[in-house]
A and B are shown apart, each in its own frame.
With several copies, the nearest count.
Chain A
Amino acid sequence: MAAAPLTPDPATLLPSLEPVQLLDNQGVLHEVDGYPLDLKDEDFRNLYRFMVLARRVDKQGINLQRQGQLGVYASLLGQEAAQVGGAYALDEQDWVFPSYREMGAALVRGVDPGKILQLFRGTWLSDHDPHATHFGLLSIPIATQALHAVGFAMGAKLDGKDLVVMSYFGDGATSEGDAHEAMNFAAVYDAPCVFYVQNNQYAISVPLSKQTKAPTIAHKAVGYGMPGYRCDGNDVLASYAVAKQAVERARAGEGPSLIEAITYRMEAHTTADDPTRYRTAEELAEWNARDPIARFETFLTKEGLLDDAFRAQIDDEAKAYAARMREEIYDAPHGDPLELFEHVYVEPPASYDEQRALLRRELEAQ
């Protein structure tokens, strides 16, 4: 038969079932072949710092919602390691295309959390400049941003730029046609792109077992002829190391790959959700015992990388972040309603003059 296989040995594409884990539940480091840790002390501390900040910022998000300051908020509690570890593997010139739950990744990219929250407050539909931090717009229509990530990566490649794009999405998102088309395009064009799936076990109320019958999410990579990796998403070192490998692969021109970071959403889907309807306290407790921060803390303490001064410094920073978020959000006034007509077109239609005039009249009549 002439229809020869398109890559030499598909068996090599089969992901290992065992997720890469570097730090066990007790915070003990185990080296894993192929996943060397190229981290300095400063990096270890930074990973910890980002996780703690993410948790604090997240908590502040929930609180602001409870206080009526945000319409809704989507918590990342429990996913700190997965988010931070993934994004930490990127260089400055690289880009992240997030969904709506990526406050942790946003922090790593240097995005002001207060700006992210404006979406949830409803001040504007997005408030940060993606070009400043290389962090794309939050994307609510599930899986759609994966295609933007691929297109961006195709652009970078065409332009000959050293630039890797990481697209975050969820376990549920893997069912959408757009996720499929994105992975296929990326593979076909060898786009420097990493698909980073936070498998937090649920799509709102729907558990992974009802979402797919794939052996694992990582196995979906086989159908695109790209590598699929699994990692313990509650182990920040594994999340980092696996992401790093995928990022370096993309950077070296070897094409895209898919990462399944196995984690758990400890909070409700959003503040509007009631998770008691679909999951048990036992399940929650089980995952609580695998807390990503506690585990890393044990490790760092043992390594002598975590002293009181550093803790205090992070604590101060976290407090400052939270304070600034409250400041930026609390009773933040909406902007000028007339801005509704801005940014829709660079060259707006003539009819906007009439509509703007109508709104102006309405505003004056108030």
Chain B
Amino acid sequence: MAITMAQALNTALHDAMEADDKVVMFGEDVGTLGGVFRITDKLQERFGEKRCFDTPLAESGIVGTAIGMAMYGYKPVVEMQFDGFTYPAFEQIVSHLAKMPNRSRGTVQLPVVVRIPYGGGIGAVEHHSESPEAFFSHVAGLKIVSPGTPSDGYSLLRRAIDSPDPVIFFEPKRRYWLKEDAELPVTTEPFGTAVVRRQGTTATLLAYGPMVRTALDTAKAAEEEGWDLEVVDLRTLNPFDAKTVVASVAKTGHAVVIHEAQVFAGFGAEVAAQITERAFYDLEAPVLRVGGFDVPYPAAKLEEFFLPDTDRILDAVERSLSF
């Protein structure tokens, strides 16, 4: 059956609430409206206003109260309406959600999931297309997840909700309508397991979230050039599956890491550094990074020039191969 990422996520939320009545859901417009992307559609109808409810317009408030509810014993799943509106909650996420289990010497656990529709490519106005994953990846105590397919969307979100550790769950909003033949419920590999989405020998493309599809499209396009690209989907940025990544790069000798966020100090730097540390002698060229330019996310009409696409990736592959 063909399902979309949005359906997979909605079903995952539904099934998690069904399975465990400690799971509660809140955020701006997630109740009556079902979320601006309808990812929480029908959940309030099904589970009532007590388990799925709208909040006042205050992101720090949302994350802060989620922490308190988790201390009480609930498993809150909260939505930040858009990537760019996660920032008001930064302090609660960094100073408390990430640290409290450690601070408390394990006496407090915070099984909270912060869902963030993220990334660009949908022609949105500013602050609606950000890729803030690097910020949160740099915060010990958080797990960072970003699915690239509907099956992973379902499975990783279920795992995130079941996780005893706090999870920042980055939903690739431009892939909400991405389809896949899959039967729900579906169980894919656990956190910390990257997956080779396409076998290849020429070079490795490393991607996550919205860029997985782009990487696969690029691999297809690369066939014309006679290149056989391997595509690795990281799935979880933390934990980071160095093993799968290194195995692929050891095979191909070339690596290009891709994300939408600006390249400078982005997560790609971490991937590049890890590969270089762990597979130095396997590398025939430096790991190249492809991403957005080091400028603010631009206006909709210009985002195509900002965002990495097949051409920019192929250009990097070529530079790598001819290094």
- Chain A residues proximal to chain B, CB less than 8 Å: 71-72, 97, 100, 118-127, 129-131, 136-137, 140-142, 144, 146-156, 158-159, 172-173, 175-178, 181-182, 184-185, 188, 203-206, 210-212, 272-273, 277-278, 334-335, 337, 339-347, 349-352, 355, 358-359, 361-363, 365
Alpha-carbon gap, A121 to B210, bound state (A): 24
B125 x A122 contact (CB < 8 A)? yes
Chain A residues with CB under 8 Å of B57's CB are 142, 172-173, 175-176, 203, 206, 211
Tell me which of A173, A178, A363 has the highest count of chain B C-beta atoms within 10 A of its own C-beta: A178
Alpha-carbon gap, A129 to B103, bound state (A): 11
Chain A residues with CB under 8 Å of B84's CB are 140-141
Given A277-B32, A344-B101, A344-B141, residue A355 in contact with residue B293 (CB < 8 A): yes
Total number of A-B contacts with CB less than 8 angstroms? 259
Is B213 positioned at the interface, with any CB of A under 8 Å from its CB?
no
A342 x B61 contact (CB < 8 A)? no
Is B217 positioned at the interface, with any CB of A under 8 Å from its CB?
no
Alpha-carbon gap, A346 to B109, bound state (A): 9
Alpha-carbon gap, A121 to B124, bound state (A): 9
Alpha-carbon gap, A124 to B108, bound state (A): 14
Alpha-carbon gap, A156 to B143, bound state (A): 27
Chain A residues with CB under 8 Å of B16's CB are none
Interface residues of B in 33-59 (CB under 8 A from A): 33-34, 36, 50, 54-58
- B235 to chain A: closest CB distance in Å? 13
Q: How many residues does chain B have at the interface if contact means C-beta atoms less than 8 Å apart? A: 83
Given A120-B125, A153-B68, residue A344 in contact with residue B56 (CB < 8 A): no
Q: Can you spell out 22 A-B residue pairs with CB atoms less than 8 angstroms apart?
A: A71-B123, A119-B126, A137-B104, A140-B127, A141-B87, A141-B96, A147-B63, A151-B71, A152-B69, A152-B71, A152-B72, A155-B68, A155-B74, A181-B64, A184-B56, A185-B65, A278-B33, A334-B302, A340-B298, A340-B302, A342-B106, A351-B242
Interface residues of B in 221-235 (CB under 8 A from A): none
Alpha-carbon gap, A151 to B192, bound state (A): 30
A355 x B311 contact (CB < 8 A)? no
A123 x B299 contact (CB < 8 A)? yes
A346 x B165 contact (CB < 8 A)? yes
Is B88 positioned at the interface, with any CB of A under 8 Å from its CB?
yes
A346 x B164 contact (CB < 8 A)? yes
- Chain B residues proximal to chain A, CB less than 8 Å: 24, 28-29, 31-34, 36, 50, 54-58, 60-61, 63-74, 76, 84-85, 87-88, 91-92, 95-96, 99-109, 123-128, 140-141, 143, 163-165, 191-192, 238-240, 242-243, 264, 293-296, 298-303, 305-306, 311-312, 315
B105 x A147 contact (CB < 8 A)? no
- A269 to chain B: closest CB distance in Å? 9
Which of A129, A155, A363 is B107 in contact with, Cβ under 8 Å? A129
Chain A residues with CB under 8 Å of B61's CB are 147, 175, 177-178, 181-182, 184-185
Alpha-carbon gap, A142 to B311, bound state (A): 36
A343 x B101 contact (CB < 8 A)? yes
Which of A120, A149, A277 is B68 in contact with, Cβ under 8 Å? A149
Q: Which 10 A-B pairs have the closest CB atoms?
A: A151-B68, A147-B64, A122-B300, A155-B72, A151-B65, A181-B61, A349-B239, A334-B301, A175-B56, A205-B33
- A306 to chain B: closest CB distance in Å? 37
Given A347-B164, A355-B294, residue A125 in contact with residue B126 (CB < 8 A): yes
A206 x B54 contact (CB < 8 A)? yes
A126 x B68 contact (CB < 8 A)? no
- A268 to chain B: closest CB distance in Å? 11
A205 x B29 contact (CB < 8 A)? yes
Alpha-carbon gap, A150 to B68, bound state (A): 7
Alpha-carbon gap, A122 to B128, bound state (A): 12
Given A129-B107, A355-B294, residue A148 in contact with residue B101 (CB < 8 A): no
Q: Which residue of B lies closest to A277 (CB)?
A: B33
B293 x A204 contact (CB < 8 A)? no
Chain B residues with CB under 8 Å of A137's CB are 100, 103-104, 108
